[in-house]
Amino acid sequence: MEKNISVVVISYNSERFLKENLTSLIHQTVKFQEIIVVDNFSSDNSVKIIETYEKKYPEVRKVALDYNSGYARGANIGIRNSRSELVLVANSDTRLDENFNLNVVRKFKEDPELSLLSPLILRFDKRTVDSAGQTYSIALHPLEIGFNRSVCSVDIKEKPMFSVCGAATVFRRTALEKLKLDQDYYDEDFFLFLEDFDIGWRANLLGLKTLFYPEAVVYHYRSGTLEKNVWARFSLALARPASIKYHLVKNRYLTLIKNFRFNRFCWTIPFIILKDITWVGMLTFSSPKIIITLMKSGKYFKKALAKRKILKSKTKESKK
């Protein structure tokens, strides 16, 4: 089977995970054509670890930035430096099952309409589900199917998906080109958080086939100690620094501005209002300074409106 796949790993202070991540990428039964690691100006030993693998394995390539570009721009830089027909974009705190590439390449060959593939993502214990595909809540927040549940209690079947989990997503190159807005694949105004839900929703609007494929397995750390309830995740959000809360709130509304379509989702409006009064209210109450930062973010919302127009035009073209 030909080497038809590259991987882009976005790293920031990831020395804790990089060795096992890179080892799992190198020892695939179907090899990656390229393993591109984009380092976002790490202050730990991440770059040294990447360089060690780069010297030993010719497929490993380091892209070391002199600033923290954020996840979205880091992913775009890596994608632009890749050449394969298939591109896996993955977090640095992931490990791949050794047959991941074998199953992914085979699936894309079997299904020429397939554009985005969302793998089965388990925690490091290999028993707890991190994501069995991504959908949305009644308030249009991203929802990881099976999140924090035992794999035995989740319906693990191949099925179409609304969106993809950003911890690991495989794109067909032609789909990436269709997803471009303002020459970017991922929206760089997001910096980090919700960029996966945004690009997945965009793919949905453009009619690109997105599939959850459980034969492709990834292991993800995430917050390994997170308790299995909604309040634990909300508490984690409240405990984050103000700069992170800012991106969570900003990106929520950038996503809605660009992708919300009244004819499909008008029924969600009361739930969006109720959810956001609580969610955004608590985040801003816990860090009032982010309100000022949001008020200075008008340029991002103006750009989102412009991107909405581009996306609507591309959507019309895709339906012809």
* pLDDT score for 233: 52
Please give the average per-residue pLDDT across 42-62, as a whole number: 96
- CA angle in degrees (0–180, nearest 5) for 163-59-20: 65
The phi, psi pair for 303, rounded to 5°, reads -65, -35
* pLDDT score for 2: 53
Percentage of the chain exceeding pLDDT 90 = 79
Domains of the chain: 5-220 (3.90.550.10), 230-318 (no CATH)
Calpha distance 136→163 (Å, rounded)? 8
* pLDDT score for 281: 79
Question: Looking at the predicted structure, is the pLDDT value of residue 227 above 50?
Answer: no
* pLDDT score for 317: 86
Contact 49, 18 (CB under 8 A): yes
* pLDDT score for 236: 52
Please give the average per-residue pLDDT across 194-206, as a whole number: 97
**pLDDT digits over 254-310, tens only?**
999 999 999 999 999 999 999 988 877 787 777 778 788 888 889 999 999 999 999
Mean of all residue pLDDT scores within the chain: 91
* pLDDT band for position 238 (cuts 50, 70, 90): low
Question: Looking at the predicted structure, is the pLDDT value of residue 129 above 90?
Answer: yes
